[in-house]
A and B are shown apart, each in its own frame.
Chain A
């Protein structure tokens, strides 16, 4: 009896699946904070503020975790931030970011919040704590959108 042997072919490369993609799903079919991304398209970085207790929430929410109110409003965080800390991704980048290495990552103070973001427009060596940074918007190939910051030229 011969044992049957067959070499089968499979698709070698697959499209980066959404659940291995760090950028969030953004339209109203998948999230109730789609307004955040619509605002980004209009070049505005916004978040939700609780109208009941006054807490500014980050990330934007559909309910205030402090008082459970759903009475939230969208507020504009402006475009001017300050670098609180920064580093550079030199090794160990995940799928989707490998091509960008090396790139700078920072913690940015903006609108009373401290948020992480990619920092463009400068090498690691050119950055210092306290640097002024300004909002930058990026758009992905599938029209999804996200924010980064850029070092302000002195």
Chain B
């Protein structure tokens, strides 16, 4: 398989946008092509679109040709759409990587988009409740907040994790997102703000939860050998891992230890030929504060059950053991499902190029991972990126 590079990308502003699904596509698409001056839409031979639920949120299926039409792309090698709920965007990057790496595609656009604000938000909440097994879990009201609330409750019981420790995750990520103009939220959030925010599903308060967000983003993939034709500073895809264990609650590996994430981490380190200590930046899926805490543990930066202490000691901050979510995370940037994995890749790309504000720049970073979980944390997906081709 050929080595593959990302040579550029762009995004829409994320947030509660007064814009349609296709408006978001055009905003991000324009930014993406402006970022890579010497690739025009007509040069693109392949398009893979990450979109979680356009059928529900905007009542539109068959969205790949719509994105192609909005951006003046005429795919002639690969046209496809990926759905892996919260990891839909990352799944799109994985498949585009495989297509370019295998020679099936030469210049591939990977595009992610989700329009989640609807006139009646009950409808949006309904969409989010058919993610877990609808007939056996969703039917009990088990959408993401109650599921992660119970995960947090068990983690607190078994390991002594506190609400204050969880709130520290939110404060950290909101702090970094104040320096990210594309983020949904640009306001500092203190531990006290988190603890005083309204309760969504106890023990989770509003600021423990990532938000419903509109947004789109795209990146362009080419064979690594061609990358310098388009930019002096490409980013390389160097490894990946993914695992899925069970689906309905009874068949999950474990509630308080994310076994499939541990599997995906091992596979990522193996395929990228790196150790976890070489990772400078980790864009982790902080859909809820408890998620990030459990991810420190599964990545092995701290022992099982000690994720709360890890953040208490400042380890996941820039300058600590590993910079976790210097983009601002899902908590600070919002979580437009199909776009999230691509927004993470784009921010890492900008980190390597030194294009992010100083306060959240991880200086000298060479290796990064982007992680998404989906569903009842039964599926975990990781891609490793490198500044240099080794």
Contacts and interface: CB of A to CB of B under 8 A. Distances in A.
Interface string A108-124: 00000111111000001
16 contacts: A87-B202, A88-B146, A90-B198, A90-B202, A91-B201, A93-B125, A95-B122, A95-B123, A100-B141, A103-B141, A105-B140, A105-B141, A115-B136, A115-B250, A118-B141, A124-B202
Contacts of A113: 250
Contacts of B31: none
Is the interface on chain A under 10, 10 to 19, 20 to 34, or 35 or more residues?
35 or more
A105 B149 CA distance: 10
B157 A129 contact: yes
Contact of B154 (A85, A97, A116): A85
Contacts of B146: 87-89, 105
A45 to B, nearest CB: 12
A94 B125 contact: yes
B125 A92 contact: yes
A50 to B, nearest CB: 14
Contacts of A24: 134-135, 139
Contacts of A105: 140-142, 146, 150
Interface of A: 20, 22-24, 58-59, 84-95, 97-98, 100, 103, 105-107, 113-118, 124, 129, 146, 148
Contacts of A85: 150-151, 153-154, 255
A94 B143 contact: yes
A116 B250 CA distance: 8
A115 B249 contact: yes
A101 to B, nearest CB: 9
Contact of A107 (B133, B150, B200): B150
Given A22-B129, A85-B150, 16 more contacts: A58-B136, A84-B255, A86-B153, A87-B150, A88-B202, A90-B199, A94-B125, A94-B128, A94-B143, A95-B126, A105-B140, A105-B146, A116-B136, A116-B137, A116-B142, A129-B153
A58 B133 CA distance: 12
Q: Which 4 A-B pairs have the closest CB atoms?
A: A85-B150, A94-B126, A87-B149, A24-B135
Contact of A23 (B129, B130, B139): B139
B37 to A, nearest CB: 43
Nearest to B204: A87
Size class of the contact patch on chain B: 35 or more
A75 B149 CA distance: 31
B358 interface: no
Contacts of A146: 139
Interface of B: 122-123, 125-126, 128-130, 133-143, 145-146, 149-151, 153-154, 157, 198-204, 248-251, 255
Contacts of B157: 129
B201 A87 contact: yes
B150 A90 contact: no
B122 A94 contact: yes
B136 A22 contact: no
Contacts of B134: 22, 24
Contacts of A58: 136, 248, 250-251
Contacts of B137: 116
Contacts of A92: 125, 128, 143, 145, 200
Contacts of A106: 150
Of listed A24, A107, A114, residue having the most chain B CB within 10 A: A107
A97 B245 CA distance: 29
A21 to B, nearest CB: 9
Contacts of B139: 22-24, 146
Contacts of A22: 129-130, 134-135, 138-139
Contacts of A103: 141
A98 B248 CA distance: 23
A106 B134 CA distance: 16
A58 B145 CA distance: 23
B153 A114 contact: no
B168 to A, nearest CB: 21
A59 B83 CA distance: 24
A88 B136 contact: no
B140 A116 contact: yes
Nearest to B127: A94
